[in-house]
Amino acid sequence: MPKDAAVEEFAALVRALKARDGRSYEALGRRLSVSASTLHRYCSGATVPEEFAVVDRLALLCGVDEEGRRALEAAWTEADRARRRAASPAPTPVPAVSAAPESKPDPSVPDPTAE
């Protein structure tokens, strides 16, 4: 399944921050209190952080100005929306209720209303 364009854009921004800083995933992760693999998933677009705080800390660590942080937050917001859409289950169709076929009386059973 292809990734959402908003997620791709957000991941590209996070990758650019990581490249700008020059540290390894492990070193950056330690500074941000996340695992190296979590940071890698953000950079690859495999996942989007549930909260902007970790990305904001990364931006501050990398010396991003206020305008850049606002742009990063806007990109995160769009990616988060895409993540939520993908995570919400599709509505399950309700099976149509069909009327029970009319039953024909069993000819071997006497009809009590016939008398």
pLDDT at 8: 96
pTM of the predicted structure, to 2 decimals: 0.72
62, 56 contact by CB (below 8 A): no
**Domains of the chain, each with CATH number or no CATH:** 5-86 (1.10.260)
Model confidence pLDDT, tens digit, residues 13-68: 999 999 999 999 999 999 999 999 999 999 999 999 999 999 999 999 999 999 99
In whole numbers, what is the pLDDT of the chain averaged over residues? 86
Three-state secondary structure string covering 64-107: CCHHHHHHHHHHHHHHHHHHHHHHCCCCCCCCCCCCCCCCCCCC
